[in-house]
């Protein structure tokens, strides 16, 4: 799992401290830092974010006020030097409330809560995700995906009716998809195993496309795919 996070704090020292903690956690990826809620507002329009480390006392607009007006916010961990906002924070359904200076063990406990929440959501069996394609977030049902192709810093999600180009990686994609149905069969391809029409040599036929299978993974992948076969 890859949880994309943003640090929002007007104090450079505080941002540096949280950044150092984030770098120690393998399931966190820092995708931005903001000095205030105005910068955060702009960032959220162009970047997918799963988790905010959000300071409260900031210029122009407090973290609490910004969060109150945000529709469909990411998960939030409040970071502050003040205790009086705790009740407001929990009324806004934040995951945790960290008091500065934040000890690493307390930070770890908070981000493990976030990890558990995403795992629970994954286990609930949602059958779709939203991806940012162009200027919109598009809903794609897992069953509609034929395969996903890597294209440098992007991936192309192939369905029967569209090809959506998304700023992401195959690694991020595979962690967001049901593991029993989707397989990475090559460094450049993830396939939906239910969409395979046939297997020809070292290629999988999906729709009208031929998807290569990595030589190093061929035996294991074919063993998985051919479990239900008649000799």
| Contact yes or no for 193/205 (Cβ under 8 A) | no
pLDDT at 228: 61
Average pLDDT of every residue of the chain:
88
pLDDT at 230: 62
Read off the pTM. 0.56
Task: Look up residue 211 and give its two tokens.
Answer: 């998807």
pLDDT at 53: 97
Could you tell me what percent of the chain has a pLDDT over 90?
55
Q: Which is more confidently placed, 220 or 71?
A: 220
pLDDT at 129: 84
d(CA 207, CA 147): 10
Residue 52 DSSP symbol:
E
Quick one: 179 exposed, middle or buried, by C-beta within 10 A (0-12, 13-18, 19+)? exposed
Task: Look up residue 198 and give its two tokens.
Answer: 């046939």
| Contact yes or no for 47/5 (Cβ under 8 A) | no
Could you tell me what percent of the chain has a pLDDT over 70?
94
Q: Which is more confidently placed, 135 or 142?
A: 142
Q: Which is more confidently placed, 84 or 230?
A: 84
pLDDT digits (tens, 9 = 90+) for 207-216: 999 999 998 8
């Amino acid at each position: 799992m890859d949880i994309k996070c943003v640090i929002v704090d007007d104090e450079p020292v505080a941002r540096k401290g949280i950044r150092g903690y984030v770098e120690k956690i393998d399931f966190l990826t820092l995708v931005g830092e903001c000095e205030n809620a105005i910068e955060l507002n702009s960032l959220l329009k162009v970047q997918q974010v799963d988790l905010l480390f959000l300071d409260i006392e900031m210029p122009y607009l407090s973290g609490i006020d910004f969060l109150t007006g945000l529709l469909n916010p990411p998960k939030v961990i409040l970071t502050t030097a003040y205790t009086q906002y705790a009740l407001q924070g929990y009324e806004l359904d934040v995951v945790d409330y960290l008091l500065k200076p934040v000890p690493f063990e307390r930070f770890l406990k908070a981000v493990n809560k976030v990890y558990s929440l995403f795992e629970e959501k994954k286990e609930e069996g949602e059958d779709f995700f939203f991806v940012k394609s162009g200027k919109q977030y598009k809903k794609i049902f897992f069953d509609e995906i034929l395969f996903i192709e890597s294209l440098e810093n992007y991936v192309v999600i192939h369905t029967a009716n569209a090809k959506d180009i998304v700023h992401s990686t195959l690694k991020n994609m595979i962690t967001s998809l049901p593991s029993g149905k989707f397989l990475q069969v090559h460094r450049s391809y993830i396939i939906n195993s239910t969409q395979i029409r046939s297997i020809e040599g070292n290629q999988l036929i999906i729709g009208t496309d031929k998807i290569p299978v990595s030589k190093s993974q061929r035996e294991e992948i074919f063993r998985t795919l051919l479990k239900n076969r008649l000799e």
